Chain A
Amino acid sequence: MAEVRFEAASRIYPGSETPAVDELNLDIADGELLVLVGPSGSGKSTALRMLAGLEFIDKGSVYINDKDVTLSPPQDRDIAMVFQNYALYPQMTVASNMGFALKQAGVPKDERRKRVEEAARILDLEPYLDRKPKNLSGGQRQRVAMGRAIVRSPQVFLMDEPLSNLDAKLRVQTRTELADLQARLGVTTVYVTHDQVEAMTMGHRVAVLDHGKLQQVARPRDLYSKPMNRFVAGFIGSPAMNIIDVERHDGVLQLAGQPVPVEMSTADALASTDGSSFGLGVRPEHLALIGDGGSGIAGEVTVVEELGSEAFVHVATEHQGERLTLVVRDEGETSTQRGDNVQVGFNGPTHIFGPDGERVGS
C-alpha cells in the first residue's frame, strides 16, 4: 500500500527550452485511482514515466510512501506498469510473460507458477497460459499486460493509456472491469489517458494537465461543475462547453445582446475585477431552446445531432458583430430542424472566467 507524492517535479527534455512537465505538485492517496488526463503533449505520459523511473527528473522530487525515489532506478521503486502497446515479451508464453518479474526477483519456480495461475484466474487467462502473445486477441493481450502487473503485487500500478488500442465496445467493457479490479485489489493506481470520458468514469480524482502544467485536480463531479480555468472547462465534457468571449456593458456581461445570469457572489467578484473582456462558459445542457414569444438569443439552426436519448442543436447567432455557434442540448425526439429560427435561453449555471482565464465564479 502506498502514497505517491510529486513535489515540484519537472522534466526538461534535452534541447528543449520549455519543460515537458513543469513543477508538478500532486498527492495521491493510498488505494486511490488517480487519472492524469490532457491532450497530446500535455506531459501526462512524461509525468507517469517520471514516477516509473523511465524519465529523468530534472528538478523537484518524487516520493513513494515518503521515500524519496527521485534518483532510484525503476526496479527499486516496486511499481508495475502497463504500456499502451502492452510491451509483452514476444518470444515468451503468457505464463512466462507474467512470471518474468518474479523470476528476476528470484522467486522460486513453484511459487511463481502459483501466483501466475492466481492472476490468470482473476483475469480469465487460464486457457491461454501456454500461448505466445502473437496468438492472442487485442483484449487478451491487454489482460496479459494487466496480469504481468498484478502478479507482482506492487506498491503502485502505472497505466499508460492501456485501453487506447482496443475497439470502442471492448474499451468501455474493459474500463469497467479495470476500475472494479483496482477497487478489489486496492492498489494505488496512476492512470494516464487522453480520453476525458475514461478519466471521468474511472478516476477517484482526475488531474488535468496542459503544456506540462497541472490545471486542476479534483473529483470528476467537481471538475465538471467547477472548472478552475478555461482550459479545464473546454476539455472536460462531451460535447464541449460553449466558451465565448463576452464584454461587460454597464456592469453586466452580455451574450448576443442578452444579459448573462450570474450568482450574487460572482457579480461581486466581477465588480472588483478590472477589464471588460471575460470568458463565458455554458454547457449545452444549461442552454435551452425556448418557444416563440420568449426573449432569448435569436438564431438559426445549422445542425441537429440526434443521439437517441438526447439531441444537440447547433444554433448560429451573431455576437459582437461576428458569427457564433452555440451548442444546445434538446430532448431526444426533438422536432427542431435545420433552418429553423429559434430562441436560446439560459437554463442552468454559467461559468465566468477572468481575462487571465481563471475562474471568477458561476
Chain B
Amino acid sequence: MSLYYSFTKWTVTPPTPRTWTGIGNYTDAFTNIFFRRAAVTSIVMTVTAVVLSVLLGTLIALLLDRKFFGQGFVRTLILTPFLIMPVVAGLVWKNQMFSAAFGVLNWVLNQVGIESIEFATKYPRWAIVGVLVWQWTPFMMLIILAGLQGQSSSVLEAAKVDGASPRATFFQITLPHLRPYIELGVLLGSIYLIQVFDHIFVMTGGGPQSTNIPLFVYQRSIGGGWRFGSASAFSIVVVVATIILATFGLRVLSGLLEGEEA
C-alpha cells in the first residue's frame, strides 16, 4: 500500500484527488534539503551512538568479566537502562538530568561554579546521542560479555606463557575473538537506532539538529504535513536502506555461527 502511495501525490488537507507521479517522490527525496538534512542527522546519530556504546560496552564488559563481590547485582544494575522504555528514558533525561532548572547535571555543574546549560536546547543532537548511548551501552556490554565468557581461559594462559603483555593479549587475541560479537552488536544497534523516534519526539520534538528520518516522515504525514505520497516514498527509502543493512548483518551472524564450529 505504502509502495503504491509512494508513487502518487496525495495531500489530505485540503483534500485533493490522488494523482500518479511515478518516481517523482523519490527524486524529490534526494533533492529535498530537509530530507537530506534528516538523513545526515540519522546517520550521524546512529554512527556516533553505536560507536560510543560499543566502546563503552566493551570497557564495562571487560571490567565485569572478573569475579567480585556483588557481581550479579552490579550486572543487573548496569543492564537496567536497556530495559527502560524509550519514551520514559527521553523524559527522564530531559526533565531530571538535562533541564537547566531541575537537572542533576546542571546541579553538578553549578556546584563546581559553572552556569547551567540547557543541554537539550543548545546541543539537541548530542543530548539525544547521550541518551541513546546510555540506553544501548548495556546491550553492547551484554553481547560482548557473552563473547568474553566464551573465550577459553587456557588460550589466555597460553598467551601468558608465550610472554604476551596484557595489552598484546587484548589486541592480538581477545579483540579478534570478540570481532564477530562486536559486529553483531553494531549491526543490531544500527538497525534499531536508525529508526529512533521516541527520544527525539519527547526531548526536542525535532529541529534542524535533531530531526532524523523517522521524525521527518512523521512530520510530513500525520505530524502536520499530511503529504502521504512523499512521506511514503521517504519511509520506503529508509526501509530499503535497512534491508541492505540487515542482509549484510545476516551474513555476519552466519559467520559467527561458523566460527563456533571450531
Contacts and interface: CB of A to CB of B under 8 A. Distances in A.
A79 B160 CA distance: 11
B157 A101 contact: no
B160 A54 contact: yes
Given A54-B157, A83-B154, A100 B164 contact: yes
A73 interface: yes
Contact of A134 (B159, B161, B176, B262): B262
B148 to A, nearest CB: 14
Interface string B130-166: 0000000000000000000000101101111111110
A185 interface: no
Contacts of A85: 152, 154
Interface string B168-179: 100011001101
A306 to B, nearest CB: 41
Interface stretch (A86-94, A117-125, A258-266, A273-281): A86-94
B157 A87 contact: yes
Contacts of B155: 87-90
A195 to B, nearest CB: 20
Interface string A117-138: 0000000000000001110000
Contacts of B161: 52-54, 74-75, 79-81, 101
Interface in A97-146: 100-101, 104-105, 132-134
B163 A75 contact: yes
A87 B155 CA distance: 5
Interface of A: 52-54, 73-75, 79-81, 83-85, 87-92, 100-101, 104-105, 132-134, 148, 152
Nearest to A133: B262
Interface of B: 152, 154-155, 157-165, 168, 172-173, 176-177, 179, 259, 261-262
20 contacts: A52-B157, A54-B160, A73-B160, A75-B161, A81-B158, A81-B161, A83-B158, A85-B152, A87-B152, A88-B155, A88-B158, A89-B159, A89-B173, A100-B172, A101-B161, A101-B162, A104-B162, A105-B163, A132-B262, A148-B158
A149 B157 CA distance: 14
Nearest to A80: B161
B160 A74 contact: yes
B157 A91 contact: no
Contacts of B159: 89, 100
Contacts of A74: 157, 160-161, 163
Contacts of B157: 52, 54, 74, 81, 83, 87
**Counting chain B CB atoms within 10 Å of each CB, which of A53, A84, A101 scores highest?**
A101
In the A-B complex, the 3 residue pairs with the smallest Cβ-Cβ separation, listed nearest first, are: A134-B262, A75-B163, A101-B162
B158 A87 contact: yes
Given A87-B154, A100-B159, A101-B162, 19 more contacts: A53-B161, A54-B157, A74-B157, A74-B163, A79-B161, A80-B162, A84-B154, A85-B152, A87-B152, A89-B155, A90-B155, A91-B173, A100-B162, A101-B161, A104-B162, A104-B163, A133-B262, A134-B259, A148-B162
A81 B179 CA distance: 27
Contacts of B152: 85, 87
A110 B168 CA distance: 21
**Counting chain B CB atoms within 10 Å of each CB, which of A52, A104, A148, A152 scores highest?**
A104
Contact of B177 (A81, A84, A90, A104): A90
B191 to A, nearest CB: 26
B237 to A, nearest CB: 37
A136 to B, nearest CB: 10
Given A87-B154, A90-B177, A91-B176, A134 B163 contact: no
A81 B261 CA distance: 25
Contacts of A91: 173, 176-177, 179
Contacts of A73: 160
A167 B158 CA distance: 24
Nearest to A49: B157
Nearest to B176: A91
Nearest to B177: A91
Nearest to B157: A54
A92 B159 CA distance: 13
Contacts of B168: 104
A104 B168 CA distance: 8
A263 to B, nearest CB: 48
A135 to B, nearest CB: 9
A82 B162 CA distance: 11
A173 B93 CA distance: 67
A132 to B, nearest CB: 8
Contacts of B179: 91
Contacts of B160: 53-54, 73-75
Contacts of B177: 90-91
